[in-house]
């Protein structure tokens, strides 16, 4: 690829913004060039090539001069001695705001890399709420970094690719910037699953000539029909993007040869009226597939996407999708929020833009309610980046919620007062249970009481969105403090009993004080209350104290005569060591040859007694126990020497293990209640359940259960397979 130069950038900008202040733009380039002087990228190129490429991507979206200058300067504060004040002095407050929003908090100390990532995201979202150009430039920055990722180490490649897929590609989707989203996804796939990427590329390439001829035949037929009707249109064909194909293969468990919609045809016209005229013509030429028509013009997606989608049977019996849109819709589909940006020409209504970015305020609410970085990222992925379901109020207003949402989520999405007064719900005119999973097109009516009884704690297990969970927790926290404190103490004691550690060993005043500060609580009762109303998971608090305990137990303290001193808690040295062994090997797993080490069951595969297992010696976290067929163990590569023999032995009778099943069934009314009843009948506790419906009307139910061993797993799987419509039951942890 030819390296971008300043002259090439300026020529690109002149084509769409001839009135840009090019003297100021050139000044910004020279400023960046001087600031980054002597710095090189890992590829060996001068560092200034990176901001030039980022500015070029921003210019492709036709943003204004301040945005281009912000792109050229986006790294100077982070990587050089230049300050935000220097930027403001030279280029003004708007550019300074953009650059500050793009500057990572790398000079501050954080407890972990994950915490630093979350704090950087928090800062970016705050800046984004003030100026949407921040996120547009950030996505351009990430795109160029991904294009040049081959210069990084393999570990760094995978880390950046995973972060890109989970956060930045999802953000691009939320902002409607599909062109950037697709490229970010495809590049991420190349590094996360290179074998699958290569297989897809080779399969598509092998049939390229056949596919191109097929698309050419369809395009020619459509062009003749359009000409006969006097409709001016541009018709093109394209293959689906690699990541889109990959997801279909993964979710549908099919090979690429079994997927029929690997390509799509697009017709772009001048008016909305022409869109529907083309749709009618397409359905005259080809037989439409039932249930495969979507009108995103009448009902745009939350990210502003508009188009007509229909899947029809092609000339040789092969289905294909056609998308029909106007040129303006096409621009929005490609560039999303950048196409609507209110600063660009000053013609877009500010309130209209604010409504399009209302979800950013939801992110800010999430971050304020989050207990820690894990909580924030989990909420972000559920609320912002999950698949969506569109439902209606009785007045016809549309609400979009994460897939799997319930009437409780709907009520709190309308207003917290509605949620707190909720006593029931109707869906499509019929009474529905509160755990009913909302489907596209449902009309939901919330029934409220004049008296505020408030939400039940059980609702926390039913609701999907962080907004609902946050509002419920706030109500419980405010209205039921004493009850929450008692419940928190009870849950804490239960967890301590489960892991075999006494309260006195862990809850020492100095450790508790540090723990409360860590999570922002004034005292221990506040912490217990948070555990009680669900604001803090009890295992999080105890894990922190266990690490303190473990660290203390490994610190040798001597008395003046040189003999080992008793450890805190007035216990002799040997007694403490024995207690520690009980604490860290109580899950039924023994490490061969090692008596005293931390042993934990890995969450990636959730092993249970009866599974073939292997241990992996982690860095600073003891031995992690995996199932022998866990892909994370298969991919340890050069670190295979860290594997160690482990085995099940004498698990406590009270010990239970979480595992997750995925149930695939033909969708039907009452399926979810049949599954829960079936599991309850054999006395297996359910801790979580989620249902989603695929486009093919296949119900996928993920249910987390507590079992004692693989015998329970076999028993419950066999029972579920007898439910009418169910055709697959498997563990979904791998």
Q: Using H for helix, E for strand and C for coil, what is the string for 229-261?
A: CCCCEEEEEEECCHHHHHHHHHHHCCCHHHCCC
Q: What HEC string does 337-354 produce?
A: HHHHCCCCCCCCCHHHHH
Reported as a pLDDT band with limits 50, 70 and 90, residue 71 is: very high
Give the closest residue to 48 by CA, choosing from 63, 64, 65, 29: 29
- Start-to-end Cα distance in the chain: 39
Q: Which of 726, 721, 727, 687 lies closest to 707 in space, CA to CA?
A: 687
Q: pLDDT category, 107, cuts 50, 70, 90?
A: very low
pLDDT in tens, 534-575: 777 777 778 778 777 766 554 433 333 444 444 333 333 333
Residue 27 has pLDDT above 50, yes or no: yes
**Beta carbons within 8 Å of 317's beta carbon, 6+ residues apart:** none
| Residue that is written with structure tokens 């459509």 in the block | 222
What per-residue confidence (pLDDT) applies to 381?
54
CB 609 within 8 A of CB 709: yes
Element (H, E) at 688: strand 686-693
The more confidently predicted of residues 425 and 498 is: 425
Name the more confident of 274 and 518.
Answer: 274
Lowest mean pLDDT of 51-60, 265-274, 341-350, name the range: 341-350
What does the alpha-carbon distance between residue 205 and residue 112 come to, in Å, rounded to a whole number?
43
Give which of 643, 651, 640 is closest to 626, Cα–Cα.
643
Residue 680 predicted with pLDDT over 90:
no
Stretch among 73-87, 299-313, 605-619, 650-664 having the lowest mean pLDDT: 650-664
Residue ranges with strand state E in 421-499? 422-427, 430-432, 444-448
Domains of the chain (ranges plus CATH)?
Answer: 6-151 (1.10.3210.10), 200-339 (3.30.460.10), 358-479 (3.10.20.30), 585-654 (no CATH), 657-731 (3.30.70.260)
The model's confidence at residue 361, banded by pLDDT at 50, 70 and 90, is low
> 312: closest CA among 228, 221, 179, 250?
221
* pLDDT higher than 80, residue 266: yes
Point out which residues pair with 107 in neighbouring strands. none
Distance CA 309, CA 390 (A): 17
Contact between residue 115 and residue 347 where contact means Cβ atoms under 8 Å apart: no
User: Could you tell me which of 306, 320, 314 has the C-alpha nearest to residue 275?
Assistant: 306
**Per-residue model confidence (pLDDT) at position 276:** 93
Distance CA 589, CA 608 (A): 10
pLDDT digits (tens, 9 = 90+) for 415-467: 888 888 888 899 988 888 888 999 877 889 998 877 656 788 788 888 888 77
Strand (E) or helix (H) holding 226: helix 208-228
CB 363 within 8 A of CB 445: no
- Lowest-pLDDT range of 61-65, 217-221, 512-516: 512-516
Q: CB within 8 A of 148, min separation 6: which ones?
A: 41, 43, 50
Residues 610/651, Cβ–Cβ less than 8 Å: no
Question: Is the pLDDT score of 55 beyond 60?
Answer: yes
* Active site (catalytic) residues: 78-79
Q: Tens of pLDDT along 164-190?
A: 887 888 888 877 888 899 999 999 999
The per-residue pLDDT for 579 is: 35
Q: What is the mean pLDDT of residues 517-539?
A: 79
Distance (Å, whole) CA 383 – CA 542: 28
The predicted pLDDT at position 639 comes to 63
Q: Is residue 29 within 8 Å of residue 72, measured between CB atoms?
A: yes
Half-sphere exposure of residue 453, counting CA atoms within 13 Å on the CB side? 9
User: Other CB atoms closer than 10 Å to residue 578's CB: what's the count?
Assistant: 13
Q: Beta 388-392 vs 398-402: how paired, if at all?
A: antiparallel
Specify the range with the lowest mean pLDDT, choosing from 148-157, 230-239, 379-388.
379-388
pTM of structure: 0.54
**pLDDT for the residue numbered 8:** 93
Cα(167)–Cα(380) distance, integer angstroms: 9
Beta bridge partners of 267: 235, 324
User: How far is Cα 67 from Cα 337, in angstroms, rounded to an integer?
Assistant: 14
Length of the chain: 734
**Which of 59-63, 643-647, 650-654, 708-712 has the largest mean confidence?**
59-63
Higher pLDDT, residue 171 or 266: 266
Half-sphere exposure of 350 (CA within 13 A, CB side): 5
Both tokens assigned to 638: 């050069």
Q: What is the rounded distance in angstroms from the CA atom of residue 548 to the CA atom of residue 398?
A: 50
DSSP labels, 558-606: B-TTSSBPPBTTTB-HHHHHHHHHHHHS-SSEEETT-SS--EEE-TTT-
Q: Which long-range contacts (CB under 8 A, 24 or more apart) does 293-298 make?
A: 297/272, 297/325, 297/329
Token reading at 543: 């894990």
Burial class (CB in 10 A: 0-12, 13-18, 19+), 463: buried
Q: Write out pLDDT tens, residues 40-49.
A: 888 888 999 9
Q: pLDDT-derived band of residue 531, with 50, 70 and 90 as boundaries? A: confident
């Amino acid at each position: 690829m030819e390296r971008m130069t300043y002259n090439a950038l300026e020529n690109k900008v002149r084509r769409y913004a001839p009135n840009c202040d090019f003297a100021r733009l050139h000044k910004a380039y020279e400023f960046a060039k001087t600031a980054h002087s002597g710095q090189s990228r890992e590829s060996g190129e001068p560092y200034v090539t990176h901001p030039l490429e980022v500015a070029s991507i921003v210019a492709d979206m036709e943003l204004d001069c301040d945005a281009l200058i912000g792109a050229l300067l986006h790294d100077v504060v982070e990587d050089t001695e230049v300050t935000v004040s220097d930027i403001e002095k030279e280029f003004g407050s708007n550019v300074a705001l953009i650059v500050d929003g793009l500057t990572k908090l790398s000079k501050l100390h954080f407890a972990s890399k994950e915490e630093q990532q979350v704090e950087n995201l928090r800062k970016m979202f705050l800046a984004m709420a003030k100026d949407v150009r921040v996120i547009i430039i950030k996505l351009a920055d990430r795109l160029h970094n991904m294009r040049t990722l081959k210069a990084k180490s393999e570990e760094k490649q995978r880390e950046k690719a995973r972060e890109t897929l989970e956060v930045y590609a999802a953000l691009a989707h939320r902002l409607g910037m599909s062109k950037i989203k697709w490229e970010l996804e495809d590049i991420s796939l190349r590094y996360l699953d290179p074998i699958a990427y290569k297989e897809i590329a080779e399969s598509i390439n092998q049939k390229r000539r056949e596919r191109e001829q097929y698309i050419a035949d369809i395009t020619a037929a459509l062009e003749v029909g359009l000409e006969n009707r006097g409709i001016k249109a541009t018709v093109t064909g394209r293959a689906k993007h690699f990541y889109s194909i990959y997801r279909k293969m993964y979710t549908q468990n099919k090979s690429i040869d079994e997927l029929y919609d690997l390509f799509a045809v697009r017709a772009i016209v001048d008016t909305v009226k022409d869109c529907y005229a083309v749709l009618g013509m397409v359905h005259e030429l080809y037989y439409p597939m039932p249930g495969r028509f979507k009108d995103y013009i009448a009902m745009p997606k939350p990210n502003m996407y508009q188009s007509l989608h229909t899947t029809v049977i092609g000339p040789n019996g092969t289905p294909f999708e056609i998308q029909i849109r106007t040129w303006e819709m096409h621009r929005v589909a490609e560039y999303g929020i950048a196409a609507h940006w209110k600063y660009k020409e000053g013609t877009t209504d500010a309130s209209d833009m604010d409504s399009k970015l209302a979800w950013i305020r939801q992110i800010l609410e999430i971050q304020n309610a989050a207990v820690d970085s894990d909580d924030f990222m989990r909420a972000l992925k559920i609320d912002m980046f999950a698949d969506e379901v569109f439902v209606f109020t009785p007045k016809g207003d549309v609400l979009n919620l994460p897939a799997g949402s319930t009437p409780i989520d709907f009520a709190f999405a309308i207003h917290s007062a509605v949620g707190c007064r909720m006593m029931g719900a109707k869906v499509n005119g019929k009474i529905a249970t509160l755990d009913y999973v909302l489907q596209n097109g449902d009309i939901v009516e919330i029934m409220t009481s004049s008296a505020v009884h408030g939400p039940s704690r059980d609702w926390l297990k039913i609701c999907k969105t962080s907004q609902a969970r946050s509002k419920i927790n706030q109500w419980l926290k405010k209205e039921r403090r004493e009850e929450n404190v008692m419940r928190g103490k009870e849950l804490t004691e239960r967890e301590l009993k489960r892991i075999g550690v006494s309260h006195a060993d862990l809850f020492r005043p100095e450790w508790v004080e540090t723990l409360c500060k860590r999570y922002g609580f004034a005292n221990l009762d506040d912490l217990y209350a948070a555990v009680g109303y669900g604001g803090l998971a009890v295992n999080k608090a105890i894990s922190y104290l266990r690490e303190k305990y473990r660290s203390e137990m490994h610190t040798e303290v001597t008395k003046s005569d040189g003999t080992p001193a008793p450890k805190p808690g007035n216990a002799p040295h040997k007694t403490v060591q024995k207690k520690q062994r009980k604490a860290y090997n109580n899950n039924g797993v023994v490490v061969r040859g090692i008596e005293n080490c931390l042993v934990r069951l890995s969450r990636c595969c959730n092993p249970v007694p009866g599974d073939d297992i292997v241990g992996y010696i982690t860095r600073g976290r003891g031995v992690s126990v995996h199932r022998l067929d866990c892909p994370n163990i298969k991919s340890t590569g050069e670190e295979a020497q860290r594997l160690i023999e482990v085995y099940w032995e004498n698990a406590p009778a009270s010990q239970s293990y979480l595992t997750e099943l995925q149930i695939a069934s033909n969708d039907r009314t009452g399926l979810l209640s049949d599954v829960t009843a079936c599991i309850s009948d054999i006395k297996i506790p359910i801790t979580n359940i989620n249902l989603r419906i695929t486009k093919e009307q296949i119900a996928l139910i993920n249910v987390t259960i507590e079992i004692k061993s693989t015998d329970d797993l076999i028993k419950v799987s066999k029972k579920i397979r007898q439910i009418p419509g169910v055709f697959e039951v498997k563990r979904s942890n791998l």
